Structure 1
Amino acid sequence: MIEVKNIRKSFQGKIVLNDISATFEKGRTNMIIGASGTGKSVLLKTIVGLFTPDSGAVLYDGREFHSSTRQLQKQIRREIGMLFQGSALFDSMTVAENVRFPLNIHSDLSESEKDDKVNFYLERVGLENAATKMPSEISGGMQKRVGIARAIVMNSQYLFCDEPNSGLDPQTAWMIDQLIHEITLEYNLTTVIVSHDMNSVMEIGEYIMFMYEGNKVWEGNKDTILDAEPKALQDFLFSNKLVRTFKGMK
């Protein structure tokens, strides 16, 4: 579980995060949504420690991150897996080498143990036959799956996904959504997804936080979001064709 408590963050006097609090629980897909420029990415970067908040706290299973010792921060970082918007694979490495990279940097496993873990997680994401391929030789959806395998190869407890469906066709995006959801349940991860993809929200949004102009305006889930009252959220929803279709069916 990750607890965000009264986080404030500003840049050059401009408030970007205004007293944000939320609880992201284990074993469910937690989503942060909102239009561009609302503070979603800044909040994500603050949670994972890339930004330091002006005030407030981030707790990983009760362990406060920003005010803790470097040793504890290092330990927490080793428990975090990141799926980046563009997959962020190393072009000069094979699929297997990309997944192996965190193990080379952060683990004391033997070479054979690393091989076993890489093979296990590649098989888990359905890429056991792509281990020797280069990123340029596989599709965008496959690259995302490589990114997921790399994010969890260290037995991660916390999975952060930044726009995981960016650039994917609808069918492939649906498959990535389902894989993230399955892995979250299977490994009991605390998964936090930043997204503006309403297909994802309506498919796997078990907890949803809507942000607007640096504020948390609403929280709920995919079953309650269509009836949410805040005007900013309604405007955001009605700008999406999928949501208009869903509302028309109610």
Structure 2
Amino acid sequence: MIEVKNLVKSFDDKVVLEDISVTFEKGKTNLIIGASGSGKSVLLKNIVGLFKPDSGDILYDRRDFINAHRDLKTDIRREIGMLFQGGALFDSMTVEQNIKFPLDILTKMPEDEKLDRVNFCLKRVKLENTNKQMPSEISGGMQKRVGIARAIVNSSQYLFCDEPNSGLDPITSIKIDRLLAEITEEYQITTVIVTHDMNSVMEIGEYIMFLSNSHKLWEGNSDEIMHSGVQELDEFVFANKMMRKFRDQ
């Protein structure tokens, strides 16, 4: 579980996040949605420690992340897996080397155990026998699955995904969504996904948080979002529907 309490973040004189409080539960797919510039990515970067908030608290299973001493902060970071928007695989590394990278830098695990773990994760994302392929030799959807394998290879307790379906076709996007949901439930991970994809929202949105103009305006699940009664959210949903309809024509 991750708890964010009264978080405020500004850049120069512009407030980007204003008094944000939210709880992301373990074993659920937690989604952050909102228009461009609403503060989604800034919130994510504050939670993982890339930005330091002006005020507020961030707790990882009741451990104070912001004010933690160096060793505790390092321990928490070892429990975090990240799936980046573009996949962010190392072009010069094989699939196996990409997935093994977190184990190389964060653990002292023997090499044979690392390879066993890599192969386990490859099997879990249905990419067996791709170990020696380069990122350029596999599809965009496969690259995203390699990114997921790399994010969970260190037995992550917290998984953060930034626009995981960016650049993917609708069918592949659904497969990535379902894979993330399966892994979240299977390993009881606290998963937080930043997305603007309404297909993802409706498919796997067990908890959804809507940001607009630096504020949290709504929270709920995929069954409730169509009846939110929040004008800004209704407009966001409608705009996404129209964009998807135009794209699919």
Match of 1:81 in 2: 81
Q: 1:240: Cα distance to partner?
A: 2.1
Match of 2:106 in 1: 106
In 2, Cα distance between the equivalents of 1:136 and 1:49? 31
Equivalent residue letter for 1:226: M
Match of 2:232 in 1: 232
SS at match of 1:165: coil
List aligned pairs for 1:62-141, cutoff 5 A.
62-141=62-141
In 2, Cα distance between the equivalents of 1:134 and 1:54? 42
List aligned pairs for 1:234-249, cutoff 5 A.
234-241=234-241
Q: Is the aligned partner of 1:161 residue 2:149?
A: no
Q: 1:244: Cα distance to partner?
A: 9.8
Match of 1:208 in 2: 208
Match of 1:171 in 2: 171
SS at match of 1:21: strand
Cα RMSD for the two superposed structures? 1.2
CA contact (8 A) 1:198 1:242 kept: no
Match of 1:183 in 2: 183
CA contact (8 A) 2:197 2:240 kept: no
SS at match of 2:46: helix
In 1, Cα distance between the equivalents of 2:112 and 2:71? 28
Match of 1:51 in 2: 51
In 2, Cα distance between the equivalents of 1:240 and 1:83? 23
Match of 1:31 in 2: 31
In 1, Cα distance between the equivalents of 2:55 and 2:113? 42
Match of 1:143 in 2: 143
Number of equivalent positions: 245
Query: More displaced, 228-237 or 139-148?
Result: 228-237
Q: TM-score, normalised by structure 2?
A: 0.97
Equivalent residue letter for 1:190: T
CA contact (8 A) 1:6 1:55 kept: yes
In 2, Cα distance between the equivalents of 1:79 and 1:14? 32
Q: 1:242: Cα distance to partner?
A: 6.9
In 1, Cα distance between the equivalents of 2:70 and 2:242? 45
CA contact (8 A) 2:198 2:241 kept: no
Q: 1:230: Cα distance to partner?
A: 1.1
SS at match of 1:50: coil
**Deviations 1:5-51 (Å, cap 9, x if unpaired)?**
00000000110000000000000100000000000000000000000
Q: Is the aligned partner of 1:219 residue 2:222?
A: no
